[in-house]
Structure 1
């Protein structure tokens, strides 16, 4: 058990650090290329993310689940059989994905550019999409090897390779774009092309680190293979049927947010052109799909990190038909999610002007979009968790249905809402689409488990009340700072305002939640010990 917990901890920490690095690099990169060129970068990464998710097809989790299952039966040959054939299939899949994205670069660019007054041309967008497509050649191959290691409870290779891939990608991206823009006085298109190509270089670095671990662990794998027992001769058809069954739900959960972004990418410029705002369309879309989205996703990472730890328990309780324990675990999942996410997104909305100024630049529009967009993070987190709960009780098909329904609703209402409310219309369409997907997920959970909980409703109202009190203190603190020092026109002053206001918000929320015992009930005995030290 301790070995399992250690492996899980290594993988979780590695994934978290990798995601944090994937956020942090944005800020210096933004300073290098400027707000006006951010949209060009995002035009390449949204279709790339979707194609990557399809090419990988949930391989790390699906392969690890398959390998672990048959390893537990002593059948090590089935796992090796999957990997031997899978490496070839993933190589072909990766190359085909590269070709598809490379060849579709022009059609995608034509869908994005709808007006001659837009900041970028079809050829510029097509060019950066082609450059990022090269990464698809190596990443699917790498994902299958990671899944194989995880199936043997070796989490370190995945964690380290992810970090190596991310670190090398970021170093190449930042140094390359800096040299192009600041040393050689190149164009933004050249810098961004180099930046997106860094995903391929990072992938190669990650692959090299996995090769190192393969050489290191190969004697162990071969020894187990020699002692393998047969659990029945599995055909390739049955192997891949089982793996695909495991992987499909993970694909849809993984591409949920990129699909909503893709709808904006394909329709936003058309709507803005229809109302005569083509000149600012690319800039606003860059803020929506890139700069603000990177901030909004932070509380989602924190919340789902806590709540997803409970999901394996859901599967266990459901399998053993322990209905009471299952309902309690679901209750706790929802409460922890809201307890962490709600105050975080409210804080981001209230401090949006200073946050956007500090991380990017002083921008009234950027701040406004961030303030409006931040609350939607609650829906991002709830969709991920409700989808994970459906996986836990083997209702995976409903994830596909709910997501596609939400996407179709977003697609149907996006243009009229953007025409009516501009960028906030796109956010509203995303909110409605996600809300519909979540309602479907929760309805299915209610029907499947006869789930209803007065406790969650009462605790949610309590969390909302605590957040309102916290928000009031933050607003008063911020207004007091502005009265004393004036608006934060410098980054140092914006940082000072943020530190003070965040400290006030955290202190008030923590004090109240500890005082009434909510934090202790939700976060466990360790938090209770911390509270007792402060006399709470």
Structure 2
């Protein structure tokens, strides 16, 4: 893939991923107003097990298929990828069906693991958790089929179908969730458990809409794809057994790495409420509230800065695979460097801003629900977005150079740290023990990934040193100024209303953005990250490549 295609594909998926994440955040605002943090927790009780089983059912298919298709197309064989698509649709439907049945029938057992004391649910019951888990399982019938079609398009370096279907899927899901909850609670005057359970069906209808979009793109481009297949210069004549053996060899590590956030959340799902309840450090009902903030409301905000990393991880795999297969070391090194620079340049100031402005951010989005706890959690949890981003991109790089096993080992090590420390830290430290365990787990995983990339991609991280130091320094300066400015503004606009919180937040964002951009431009950092158009015409020496 040329640099132009890399940038264009990344921009398309970045825009779609960012919009999807933004919509996923925005809908939580009215959803929280309707159901509160207890409803959010109930939704997460069903959605987290669904996410884990979804990743297992899809087996990392989009990235695995895109890698497989990209590899053989770079060698002139378009037929083998087409055969994979045709046979894989049935295979993925069967996978999804088995996963849906497993989640549906295991719902009572899973619910018993989540909550040991049903009184923590504030008027809800174990039956509500079971109902929620069973309703969301329906989406598993469709999403795996979408996964293989998206992967095929991405392997063709066509990101548009994935981007459009992703956004449409999210829009339909959100509309259904909000309408269902409003109708059941305010028109039918039904229970919270019924409303949240039915709302989880939004995942099914959203997936159905996304599949319709992909089918539309397929029929629109089928003639071109068939022509391309028939014009293949090479045919490796792989059997279906050999095809699936190779794809699964990619997919299992990809699936495991893609499960990172859901698996960390799964550990929290089974430990947070139980540990905090038994510790006696929080009052009745507060453990569920913390879990809702930790896994949903604050977590949704934190995922916004990592939207870019998610998009890069999707586009990087076929791109780096091509450079690796063709032994183009120069392109490989440039792709890795460019990716890390952009991730750091955008994510570091974002997490500093989120931490500094945590209370006005949380108050603006979720007024007036549990603002003190929410702002505090967001302040200390926001920097995890940087670790999420580095993990996603580093995992994609290892996948692209066929070193998936090191990504799996890294994640396994991180999960072991999280699993062994989470309950203990929660029990003795309180809510922030869970946050600390997440930092430690991701920190170890990223260290192992960096070591692997340095060794097997011969990548020198030292070439990023000067730019990384500058990014952290400029973000720190920005954070200090934003903290001083917003503290002063709060003397006139204390956060006692939504409008005041919004004024403080908007002031902080504008001032922080201006400070960071001016520093980056003045000292030439923007030139290296964003290209020559941001060149600083000055006589001073600019940061070198390291």
Aligned counterpart for 1:190 among listed residues 190, 194, 200? 194
How many residues align? The count is 531
Q: Report whether the alignment pairs 1:209 with 2:209.
A: no
Matches within 5 A, 1:457-472: 457-472=465-480
In 1, are the aligned partners of 2:312 and 2:393 still within 8 Å (CA)?
Answer: no
Matched with 1:107 is 109
Distance 1:354-1:80 versus aligned 2 partners, 3 A rule: same
Distance 1:84-1:356 versus aligned 2 partners, 3 A rule: same
CA apart distance, 1:322: 5.8
Aligned counterpart for 1:60 among listed residues 25, 44, 62? 62
Matched with 1:436 is 444
Distance 1:67-1:303 versus aligned 2 partners, 3 A rule: closer
In 2, are the aligned partners of 1:307 and 1:333 still within 8 Å (CA)?
Answer: no
Structure 1 window deviating more from structure 2 (6-15 vs 411-420): it is 6-15
CA apart distance, 1:121: 2.8
TM-score, normalising length: structure 1: 0.91
Structure 1 window deviating more from structure 2 (446-455 vs 123-132): it is 446-455
In 1, are the aligned partners of 2:70 and 2:318 still within 8 Å (CA)?
Answer: no
In 1, are the aligned partners of 2:32 and 2:40 still within 8 Å (CA)?
Answer: yes
CA apart distance, 1:447: 3.0
Aligned counterpart for 1:403 among listed residues 398, 411, 416? 411
In 1, are the aligned partners of 2:71 and 2:322 still within 8 Å (CA)?
Answer: no
Q: Report whether the alignment pairs 1:476 with 2:478.
A: no
The 1-side partners of 2:72 and 2:401 are apart by 21
Structure 1 window deviating more from structure 2 (120-129 vs 190-199): it is 120-129
Matched with 1:523 is 530
Matched with 2:148 is 144
Distance 1:260-1:134 versus aligned 2 partners, 3 A rule: same
The 1-side partners of 2:61 and 2:260 are apart by 17
Distance 1:323-1:225 versus aligned 2 partners, 3 A rule: closer
Distance 1:341-1:156 versus aligned 2 partners, 3 A rule: closer
Secondary structure, aligned partner of 1:394:
coil
CA apart distance, 1:333: 3.6
CA apart distance, 1:247: 2.1
TM-score, normalising length: structure 2: 0.89
Structure 1 window deviating more from structure 2 (259-268 vs 271-280): it is 271-280
Distance 1:226-1:306 versus aligned 2 partners, 3 A rule: closer
Distance 1:205-1:269 versus aligned 2 partners, 3 A rule: same
Matches within 5 A, 1:328-477: 329-362=335-368, 363-449=371-457, 451-477=459-485
CA apart distance, 1:227: 5.2
Secondary structure, aligned partner of 1:117:
helix
Relative contact order, CA 8 A, sep 6+: which one is greater? Answer: 2
Secondary structure, aligned partner of 1:233:
coil
Matched with 1:287 is 293
Q: Report whether the alignment pairs 1:162 with 2:179.
A: no
The 2-side partners of 1:400 and 1:67 are apart by 22
Secondary structure, aligned partner of 1:446:
helix
CA apart distance, 1:395: 1.2
Distance 1:33-1:464 versus aligned 2 partners, 3 A rule: same
Matched with 1:495 is 502
CA apart distance, 1:440: 1.1
The 1-side partners of 2:447 and 2:190 are apart by 49
The 1-side partners of 2:160 and 2:461 are apart by 39
CA apart distance, 1:453: 4.3
CA apart distance, 1:241: 0.9
The 1-side partners of 2:205 and 2:407 are apart by 34
Deviation by residue 1:11-35 (Cα, 9 ceiling, x = unmatched): 4433443333223222121122122
Q: Report whether the alignment pairs 1:83 with 2:80.
A: no
Question: Once superposed, what is the RMSD of the aligned Cα atoms?
Answer: 2.7
Structure 1 window deviating more from structure 2 (9-18 vs 247-256): it is 9-18
In 2, are the aligned partners of 1:307 and 1:336 still within 8 Å (CA)?
Answer: no
In 1, are the aligned partners of 2:21 and 2:303 still within 8 Å (CA)?
Answer: no
In 1, are the aligned partners of 2:395 and 2:449 still within 8 Å (CA)?
Answer: yes
